[in-house]
Structure 1
Amino acid sequence: MREPSAEERLKLLEERIEQARKTGDDDHHMKKDYSQAQLAWRMVIELVAGLGIGFGIGYGLDTLFGTMPIFLVLFIFFGFAAGVKTMLNSAKEMQMKQLAKLAGEDEDN
């Protein structure tokens, strides 16, 4: 049995690569999952940022006025409320984008 030449092996490799490319069309779901993960992290960061800003303002005011727990607790709740509101606005924005995308796909069909 003879050993295939380098040119024949290269041609066989190119054919195998082409076949793999034709069957590898399942990449789109990975991008979708990654996008959803990005959106989830964005919402978590918005909530944590609201809490952090509220903590910072409350601690600063308590230090300034010498009333340690009052403004800290109050502004942590305000920060939490602001973070939740921002998260809900982001979720609404994402929902609108998905609905617009679905409406565009329905018009194409």
Structure 2
Amino acid sequence: MSERDDADRLKALEAKIDALKTPADVKDHSEEHYSQAQLAWRMVIELVAGLGIGFGIGYGLDTAFGTMPIFLVLFIFFGLAAGVLTMMRSAKEVQRKQLEAAKEEGDTRG
């Protein structure tokens, strides 16, 4: 009978351990922080890429036409505008995902 008691106690202990384990779908705080840092770097890269592409196109056109600062300045501003628009789209996408997650979380809690 002691073996049966030990087996029951072991099963009860395993059930308690399983109940205390955190679910796999719960995000750790460090994962959330990593996600925010990744988003920030993505936005910085989008802005710098827009500026770089605008600079490249403007410099190329100025070199081709022999008009040094005109197209360079113009396309740097176009690149800045494109980078900011891309950043805004990314921010809206993240905001939409957060709202959807909040709605789903509200549905499961309510």
Q: Same fold (TM over 0.5)?
A: yes
Query: Is 1:89 matched up with 2:68?
Result: no
Q: For residues 82 and 67 of structure 1, what CA distance do their matches in structure 2 show? A: 23
- Where structure 2 has 5 or more consecutive residues not aligned to the other structure, the ranges are 1-16, 22-26
The residue number in structure 2 matching 1:30 is 30
TM-score (norm 2): 0.75
Q: 2:87 is aligned with what amino acid?
A: M
For residues 13-65 of structure 1, the C-alpha deviation after alignment (integer angstroms, 9 at most, x for no partner) is: xxxxx9xx96xxxx710000000000000000000000000000000000000
Trace 1:1-109 onto structure 2 (pairs within 5 A): 28-109=28-109
Q: 1:93 is aligned with what amino acid?
A: E
Q: For residues 99 and 37 of structure 1, what CA distance do their matches in structure 2 show? A: 19
- Where structure 1 has 5 or more consecutive residues not aligned to the other structure, the ranges are 1-17
Q: For residues 31 and 42 of structure 2, what CA distance do their matches in structure 1 show? A: 16
Q: 1:84 is aligned with what amino acid?
A: V
Q: 2:83 is aligned with what amino acid?
A: G
Q: Report how many residues are paired.
A: 89
Q: 2:45 is aligned with what amino acid?
A: I
- Give, in angstroms, the shift of residue 78 of structure 1: 0.2
- Report runs of 4+ in structure 1 exceeding 2 Å deviation: none
TM-score (norm 1): 0.76
Q: 1:61 is aligned with what amino acid?
A: L
